[in-house]
Amino acid sequence: MQATHFENSLARLLIRTPFCATRALGTLCFVALLVLGTQLWGQVFERPSGLPAAEIDEIDNQAATHLENARRFLATSQWEEAIDSIRRAADTTPDRLVLQPASSQQPTGFQLYYPVRSEAANRIAQLADDAPAALVLFRKLVDPLAANWLAEYRAPGQPEPLERILHEAFASRNADDALLLLGDYWLERDEPALARAYWQRISPLLTITPQAAALTKIPQGSAWGLARTKVLADKYAEFFRQVTSEKPRALPGTYPDTDIPLAQVRARLVLASLIELDLPRAEFELAMLRALDPETRGTIGGKTGPLAEILAGFVSAANKWPRRDSNVIWPTFAGNYARNGAGTIPLLSLDEPRWRFPLPRQTSDREVIGSGRLRPADDMKSLRSYHPIIVESQVLVRVDARGSSLITSLDIQTGTRNWQNEERRQHEAGVPDSEPTTTPTDVSDTHANLIRHFGVARFTLTAHRGIVYSRMGSPITGASSRRVNRLLAADQASLWGYDLTADGKPVDGFPIRPESSLWSFEGTPVVSDEGLFVLMRRVDGGRSQLYVAAFAHGSSPPPADGNAADFRPTGTLRWRTRLASSATLGNGDIDELSHHLLSLDGHQLFVNSGQGLIAALDSRSGKLSWMHRYPRSTFRSADADQSDDVFFRDLTPCLVHDSMVICAPSDCDRIFALDRLSGRMLWALPASLCRDAMHLLGVQGDYLLASGDWLYWIDTRTGTLASQFPAGSPGTAGDAAANPRGLGRGLIIGSQVYFPTRDSIYLFSTSPTRGPLGMIPQPLGEIILSQRGFSGGNLVQAGNSLLLVTGEELICFPLPLSPPDTMK
């Protein structure tokens, strides 16, 4: 309502009721204050509202002085004093952060940080080029320790002693052996991507060199496999000899002077690609081995001879190897903890559904970011917020309805309810208690008691070893300052575990609740045999303190009084690592709802914070490996011509693919890729390009598939947009809307990508093809939904079942046990 319209209405009403003018005036002035206050509140964001950089724990003066002293001592050849100063810095504040020099791939505003302990290790490793005599002295000090740790590993075969060498004696003569053995350890555990990441750190010649980067435009330090399509096959040998003729200076985290024959490592890289069934990459790496090490002999798979010849036989036979079995589970959001899951049974059409299950429709009428604008790939009147999982014969879905949080288990063949668990959401004070129900209501009440709020509720689950885990209760993660101190434990979300083999019985040790009203859980945990890992937020006035926490399994005592509203079983905290303090859009004035998920691959945890940083941590110790701070976007809510699309990204955890971590933060207008072990920038899309991309679907071949209103093919070798559907030029304010427009999260199945819209699911190849004017999508078909009374939504596939999850129902379709002939 415009102010002039309101004033005219107020005057007319006062004229009609003169006998109550005084009382009416008081009442209406109060109403006017509410209405105009809302308008003034909106005007706060008419001008740009910039979010400042996240505040992190940078190196203190004492440690910085030690590092500066080391530089001076090296300049005057005082080797012993220089090494002592570097080690003192690491001992003083090992976990504080040191800013790294910007790389050529790093756009303005991006900043990479290493802990002081890692900075010290890298500086000592650089002595191989800068002061070899100093490195000799250092090795005399640490080589005996490293040798003992190496021997300790070879006895029980656990990786911790090897990791200790990397953390405490990286420049020792045994550190390259530790890298080789760690790669072998992870390959044996069917983690070829993580194995490759370790092997590539053995020498700067095992990744893209500066000469190769100049020729291919692929960043130095990237995997060689990315250069495959940049070089003609008949030029492979010439190319490899040219770009490896000189050993480059080692990048941080890369061993400087290995004595391991590189042919042994290159052979392992070929094996890793074969295990991944990436035959083009294996052939390219084999060509490198042939060009640089044609005569090196060894034993692989019981065969002894030239490594290149043995591996050539494996590559030739690999085309006949059986493919991996179809996935029978989809245990977490995006299919796995690396957030790059894919289906296995392609389809050209859909049969009649097996069953349909109603879901409570969720709206975002009072959500601030979406006020007056479309939500990319979503519907504000029927949000695509539900992301069910599949665990063998069960479909599990998490919803909010009737003042409760519910988890429902459905039989995947019949849709009948196996069991349902319900936890009250106490903050919904206006919703009366009701009897437990077997089906949700038509409309979700998760936002019912929120007047205005940033963000919307999303619903995810995680299953691990027969237990399903969820965040249950209030979706608020950043309560406003006027209410945060009044919250009881029952008013906040808690973590729960339910036994899938015992009709959803709560597991001992749950719930785990925040220790006070200032703390909250950001989303569903990721779970391994080591424990539960979750992002936590601590409200600090108008700022948000961000932590990653690890809890032991079965760690909370049973409540003394199950109805005690402020009982706080906090679990057994294994570790909790502080990341940063950040300003948020709510600024302590307005409730915030968020659902940030961690990613986990091997023992590495990855954090897309949505609060100014990406970080990697060791899941066993909680120690930070690296942190990359990015420039935060400016928020405008009143200017409809300025896009706030990136702020709608609320379920974009880091996507881990091979040696890269792909990031699409909710407060940054770029999609970018970082090296998983070093955090180095590999590439970044131009600002605002693909700003509507809400979902990172996965990587197939050379392309990242990302979707929002549009579907995008992004070249992971160079970080360029290769193609999109539909045609157009999204990326600047005022662009025409996509037509058709994406709706929900799509899915990669084999070499096809499935892009849902309101009326259809469009099928494309995961690789675009070259057209007259550049790369264009390869369409494979269209599954029309509207003619059958369906609409687009989130897609999930496991085994021979496909789930289509709209804002109002979950629909299960049967799939053939083998793909159609036309799709093979």
Q: Please provide the DSSP assignment of 187-198 as one string.
A: HHTT-HHHHHHH
In angstroms, the CA 393 to CA 415 distance is 10
CA-nearest of 523, 550, 555 to 537 is 523
Peptide bond into 322 cis (omega under 30): no
Q: How many CA atoms lie within 13 A of 679 on its CB side?
A: 29
What is the phi-psi region of residue 459: left when phi exceeds 0, alpha when psi lies from -120 to 50, beta otherwise? Answer: beta
CA-nearest of 475, 463, 451 to 400 is 475
Give the model's confidence band at 571: pLDDT under 50 very low, under 70 low, under 90 confident, else very high.
confident
Close Cβ partners of 487 (under 8 Å, ≥ 6 residues apart): 427, 479, 517
Predicted pLDDT of residue 714: 98
**What pLDDT, in 10s, does the model give residues 122-161?**
999 999 999 999 999 999 999 999 999 999 998 777 899 9
Predicted pLDDT of residue 484: 83
CB 307 within 8 A of CB 286: no
Among 35-39, 53-57, 407-411, which is the least confidently predicted range? 35-39
Chain center to CA of 191: 18
- Tell me the sheet residues that pair with 534: 549
Chain center to CA of 560: 38
Tell me the three state secondary structure of residue 578: strand
Tell me the three state secondary structure of residue 397: strand
Predicted pLDDT of residue 565: 65
| CATH class of residue range 331-823 | mainly beta
Better-scored residue on pLDDT, 3 or 251: 251
CB 811 within 8 A of CB 803: yes
Strands (E), 529-639: 531-540, 543-551, 573-583, 591-593, 598-601, 604-608, 613-618, 624-629, 634-635
Total length of the chain: 824
In angstroms, the CA 655 to CA 693 distance is 14
In angstroms, the CA 6 to CA 278 distance is 66
Give the model's confidence band at 440: pLDDT under 50 very low, under 70 low, under 90 confident, else very high.
low
DSSP code, position 169:
-
- pLDDT at 90 > cutoff 70: yes
Domain ranges of the chain: 3-43, 202-323, 331-823
**What pLDDT, in 10s, does the model give residues 745-773?**
999 998 999 999 999 999 999 999 999 88
- pLDDT at 732 > cutoff 70: no
CB 741 within 8 A of CB 727: no
DSSP code, position 678:
T
Better-scored residue on pLDDT, 433 or 500: 500
Peptide bond into 511 cis (omega under 30): yes
Tell me the three state secondary structure of residue 279: helix
CB 146 within 8 A of CB 169: yes
Strands (E), 217-338: 297-300, 303-306, 329-330
Tell me the three state secondary structure of residue 95: coil
The separation between the first and the last C-alpha atoms of the chain, rounded to the nearest angstrom, is: 58
CA-nearest of 671, 660, 677 to 693 is 671
- Tell me the sheet residues that pair with 618: 604
**What pLDDT, in 10s, does the model give residues 173-186?**
999 999 999 999 99
Better-scored residue on pLDDT, 22 or 440: 440
In angstroms, the CA 275 to CA 193 distance is 10
**What pLDDT, in 10s, does the model give residues 377-395?**
999 999 999 999 999 899 9
- pLDDT at 29 > cutoff 60: no
In angstroms, the CA 801 to CA 224 distance is 37
Q: Which amino acid is at 415?
A: G
Dump the DSSP string for 31-78.
Answer: HHHHHHHHHHHHHTTTS-EEPPPPB--B--HHHHHHHHHHHHHHHTT-
Residue matched to tokens 């391994």:
528
Residue matched to tokens 């302990």:
117
Phi first, then psi: give them for residue 59, nearest 5 degrees.
-55, 140
Q: Taking residues 551-568, what's their average pLDDT?
A: 67
Predicted pLDDT of residue 816: 77
In angstroms, the CA 663 to CA 655 distance is 7
Predicted pLDDT of residue 823: 40
The CA–CA distances, whole Å, from 806 to 303, 360, 383, 756, 762 equal 54, 10, 8, 10, 16
